[in-house]
Amino acid sequence: MTRLTPPSHVDVLIAGGGPVGGALALMLGGSGLSVAVAEARPAPAQDARALALAYASRTTLDALDVWPGAAATAIHTVHVSQQHGFGRVKLDRADLALPALGYVMHYSALATRIHQRLLQGNTRALGIDYLPGAQVSRLSHLDGYAAAELTTEGASALITAGMVVLADGGRLLGEAGINQRSTSYDQVALVAELVADRPHHAVAFERFAEDGPIALLPIADRADQAPGTGRYAMVWTRPAQDPLSAASLDDAAFLAALQARVGDRAGLFCAIGPRTGFPLALRWAEAHHARRVAVVGNAAQTLHPVAGQGFNLGLRDAQALARVIRASALRDIGSAAMLARYEASRKRDSLTTIGFTDGLIRLFRCESAPIRHARALGLTAFGQIDPLRRGFAQRMVFGTQ
C-alpha cells in the first residue's frame, strides 16, 4: 500500500507527470517556487507507440537532461506524396541547416526517462515534489488559491496551490469550468512496426492514400533483423467502417494492401509486428486557463496523428507557461492576469496547428478529380518553390511563433 505524503501547499501543482507535465516541472525547477507533480501511474506504461519529436523538442528536452538519446532515431528527410496523383514534397534537414528535422522513439522511452529524472534526489533541492501513484481526484478553486484532493490506494490528502496545471488529458476540465469540444474523424489509426527490404536512411514517408493517410517513421534496427533491411513505425489511418477490414487481414495480405498504397519508395515490405488500433478524434479545450488553473498538452488539445504535431505542440504549451510563471512575482502565480498572458501566448500557435492538422485530413479526404488535381499542383509548388518549402518545414519544426 502506498502512503501519500504530499506537501500541504505549493506554488504550482501539476496534475499529470507524463512527458509534458514532467517537462514542465523540470522547467520550473530551481526557480525558487515549490512545485508538486501528481502522476496517477506508479511507473510509466510500457506504451510501444511511436512518438514523433521535432528537432526543437529535442533541444528543449536536452536542456532538461531528459533526452533519451539511445532510443531516438533521426529523421533527415520527409517525403510527402499522394496516391494516384502527381507532385511531391521533400523536406530535408538542409532546408533549415539542422542536424535533423526530428526524431522517432517509443513513447515509453521518453516517459521512463522523465520519470527517472523526477525520482532523482536532487529534484527536491530544485523545489519539486514528485508523487507517482497519486491522482488529482477533485479540484476546486477560490480567488486566492486552488485546492485538490489527491488519492492513491488506501490514502487521500488535500493540497492547496497558487495554481493547478492540468497535464493529464481532459479528465478534470469540467471541474475547472473549461468546456472541451470534440469532433470524431470516424477513423481508426492502425499502428505497428514493419520491416522493408532496404535501409530507411533516416527518411520518413507521409503518403495520402485514397482511403486514409499513411505515415512510415524510421526507427532503430533490432539485433535480430536481417542485414540490409530497414524498420519503420507505421500509422495507417483507416475508415472506422473499414471496407477493407485491414485490421483483420493476415500479415501477408495486410502488407500487400499497404504496399499497393505506398508504392516502393521505402522498399518492399517483408515483415510486420503486432497491430493495434485506436479511434481518432479532435478534442480541444475552449480555453487554456480558468480560475487558478492552466491547461497544457493533451488536456489542451488532442490532435490527429497526421504530421506528428501533438506532442510538440504540448511541449510548447509547457515552455510558454514556464516562461510566464518564471516572469511573474510570487503573489501573481495563478492570478487572472498571469493566466491571461499564458492564454494569449498560446492562442496563435495552438489554433494554427489544430487548423493545419484538421485541414490536412479534410483536404485529403476529398477524392473528386478537381480537388485531387489541385492537391497535386499544391504539392508540386511546395516541392519546387524553396521559400514555400522552407517555411513549411520551419513551421513543422518550430511551430508558429
Indicate the pTM of the whole model.
0.95
| Per-residue confidence (pLDDT) for residue 84, from 0 to 100 | 81
Q: For Cα atoms 165, 166, 168, give the angle at the middle one, nearest 5 degrees.
A: 140
Q: 158 CB contacts (<8 Å, ≥6 apart)?
A: 8, 147, 148, 149, 150
Say if residues 89 and 8 touch (Cβ distance below 8 Å): no
Q: 133 CB contacts (<8 Å, ≥6 apart)?
A: 2, 4, 39, 40, 41, 42, 152, 153
| Among 250, 222, 10, 229, residue whose Cα is nearest residue 134 | 10
- Domains in the chain (CATH in brackets) are 9-46+108-180+284-363 (3.50.50.60)
| Per-residue confidence (pLDDT) for residue 4, from 0 to 100 | 67
- Per-residue DSSP letter, 244: T
pLDDT along the chain (401 residues), means of 10: 74 97 98 96 87 98 96 97 86 97 97 95 88 94 91 89 94 94 95 97 95 95 91 96 94 98 96 95 96 97 93 98 98 97 96 92 78 80 86 91 71
| Per-residue confidence (pLDDT) for residue 2, from 0 to 100 | 45
Say if residues 74 and 100 touch (Cβ distance below 8 Å): yes
Q: Where are the alpha helices (DSSP H) in 85-133?
A: 93-96, 107-119, 122-125
CA distance 282 to 292: 26
| Per-residue confidence (pLDDT) for residue 135, from 0 to 100 | 94
Map grid coordinates 521505402 to a residue.
Answer: 266
